[in-house]
A and B are shown apart, each in its own frame.
Chain A
Amino acid sequence: MKMVMTGNYASAYGAKVCRAEVISAYPITPQTSVVEKIASLVSSGEMKAQFVNVESEHSAMAALISASMTGARTYTATSSHGLLLMHELLIWAAGARTPIVMSNICRANGPPWSVWADHHDAMAQRDTGWMQVFCEGNQEVLDSIIMSYKLAERPDIRLPSMINEDAFILSHTVEPVDVPDMELVDEFLPSYNPRFKLDVDEPYGFGSLVMPDMYMEFRYKINEAMEAARQGWRDVEKDFEKTFGRNHGGLVEFYNCEDADAVLLIMGSVASTAKDVVDKLCSEGKKVGMARLRVYRPFPVEEIRKLAGMTNIIGICDHSYTFGHWGPMAQEVRGALYGIADQPVMKNYIIGLGGKDMTPEILEKIFLKTLALKDGADQEIEWIGVKGLGGW
């Protein structure tokens, strides 16, 4: 059914149509309306789920890990400081191979306090063993939840999945969203039935101490699953399209990239604005494109190499940063392209931290700057829009 809704409601409906059985969450701006909506869906009887009203995000994730180990399909949503508080348990969730699905409403970290969008919260969880998707629109927010369960619960994957949506730009902005029929979702996503779980009839133990001769083997298995998830995402999206008649562009969505002189690589909702700017510049005869990195973990190495074959210059727009060394996406893209023939010129832009507005005008400036880098980057990294810096 087509409805008009915010990204947060799309998240809540995603959990509903997937029949999440145990939900545990703690409120934080701008995630609150996800929790409120789920609470109301549960209390109205529209959604059959156990809703555990915990006293922190840390406990929310801990409760879900144990619920998932007991064989339940689980869901939570959080943001920023809530996500940071979960960090230890995020690693635990991946280590325990629990296919938890979580929406993270990407928000800047304090101090100074900020409730507006950037990706620093999600990026700080890069090495936890979670799959990570970054969404451009609200339909994708909902659909990515369905796809996530499908892939996360695959016996050879069994990894948790984090769906990232930008604070306010998606979380509080309404768009038309098709909420698929539950029967259709049931067809696509059978109920969760893990072979091993906490079960008094088959009393296994989980997570006990391993000696150094075995630990690395467990870690290798997680990595193996994450590597397999790369093809897994491609396959799941194809299946999804067969059932639901739409896709969201694979691991990396290419917009006008073929034979572009310059491409901006972007994550999240800014991609929408960038597409408009690409259209405008193309109509003026400039050959620019935009690539949207949609699945960040597993990292789409092949797609990034494909992009390098399409264009001469890549401007890598990080909505985050690692103090002391480029933005995280820039590091990874440069790593993925290391040693290839005809490496494109690359420049890293740090954009939109703490909700700094990314207008079409600013994006156009970045495109034009990038187009001008034919003979090499003027600098490795540039922070965009910082007062007093570079004429902003």
Chain B
Amino acid sequence: MPKKTIPEEEYMNTGHVGCLGCGACHAMRYTLKALGPKTIVSIPACCWAVMPGPFPAKCLEVPLINTAFEVTGASISGIKAALDAKGITDVTVVGFAGDGGTADIGIQALSGMVERGTDVIYIMYDNEAYMNTGIQRSSSTPVGAWTTTTPVGTTKDWKKQPKKNMMDIMVAHKIPYAATCSIGFPEDLIKKLRKAKEIRGPKFIQIYAPCPTGWRMQPDKTIEVCRLAIATGAVPLYEVENGVYNISRKPAELKPVKDYLKIQGRFRHLPEEELESIQKNVTREWKILLKKEEFTKGLVDL
């Protein structure tokens, strides 16, 4: 019998109402497998506000509170404070928000929560746009992407700005632990979440969660696109613990980023020179990350 690398326990039942091939769906499932039943989850407006199913259905086996779009960081601060007031210490409090709810409208509440040193796990599942409202750009949408508010058209109006780097922003808060994960690498994801659970203070986890509907690709491409994201260096997996960088996966040689872009319809319109520019940036960012790892290694004992 092959060795099982993912916990068998399920805390997410069948019956979610996400799309076929939804990456966010796996993100929740693995998160709960990693953290177990003594977890309280707060969810703002996002696809996951709908996905547990309409009242009275609920596909999650943990307590769940829905909260307003921009307040996840404050909501989990409140839950944690109440648990502290009651002397309950064995419950993990998790915020589970989309990239829009995190990098845009919710960044203030998140920043406050991290700055206060709140002992919670904040998860940003990153599908790189506002999907719940129909694929509008967020600040986490990568450069070059089509969305309904960067509609390309004859004016070539695709997203022109680079993706906001939430990890850098979190590191600037001196957060004890921040990590990127991908639903295509569940063992790594579970390992990082379990580590986060043991660390006291605020933890930030960014989970790469492809959205076939919004990325204009077939649902059976979800895992493939995750693999290509790593192989090309487009979405690197790494963690930052007390300022020390540690890259989780280092391909011997990065594949051309084109391989990653071309299986997604949202990049279909990009001309050759734009692809080259994206390639340049991906290579550059990868090199910066390698340097950060090298540079911060020596800080472990400082």
Q: A residues near B, CB below 8 A?
A: 21-22, 24, 49-50, 52-56, 58-60, 62-72, 74, 88-89, 92, 198-200, 202-211, 214
Contacts and interface: CB of A to CB of B under 8 A. Distances in A.
B112 interface: yes
Contacts of B79: 66-67, 69-70, 198
A50 B74 contact: no
B81 A63 contact: yes
B54 A62 contact: no
Contacts of A72: 81-82, 85-86
30 contacts: A22-B81, A49-B85, A50-B81, A50-B84, A50-B85, A52-B116, A54-B74, A55-B109, A55-B111, A58-B70, A59-B74, A59-B112, A62-B71, A63-B74, A63-B81, A65-B75, A65-B78, A66-B78, A67-B81, A69-B65, A88-B68, A198-B63, A198-B79, A199-B63, A200-B38, A200-B40, A203-B62, A203-B63, A205-B64, A208-B49
Contact of A198 (B40, B53, B70, B74): B40
A59 B108 contact: yes
Nearest to B92: A200
Given A200-B38, A205-B60, A205-B64, A50 B75 contact: no
Contact of B64 (A22, A92, A202, A206): A206
Nearest to B65: A206
Those 8 A-B pairs whose CB atoms lie nearest each other, nearest first: A55-B112, A63-B78, A70-B82, A207-B66, A62-B71, A66-B78, A59-B74, A72-B82
Given A60-B74, A67-B82, 9 more contacts: A50-B82, A55-B111, A56-B108, A66-B74, A66-B77, A67-B78, A198-B63, A202-B63, A203-B62
Contacts of B37: 200, 203
B237 interface: no
B52 to A, nearest CB: 6
Contacts of A199: 63
Interface string B87-124: 00001000000000000000011011001100000000
Contacts of B85: 21-22, 49-50, 67, 72
Nearest to B116: A53
B81 A58 contact: no
A202 B49 CA distance: 20
A209 B54 CA distance: 5
Nearest to B62: A203
Interface residues of B, number: 43
B39 interface: yes
A71 B79 CA distance: 9
B76 interface: yes
B144 interface: no
A63 B37 CA distance: 23
Given A55-B108, A62-B71, A200-B39, A207 B82 contact: no
B258 interface: no
Interface in B38-56: 38-40, 42, 49-50, 52-55
B75 A210 contact: no
B213 interface: no
B173 to A, nearest CB: 12
A245 B52 CA distance: 51
B61 interface: yes
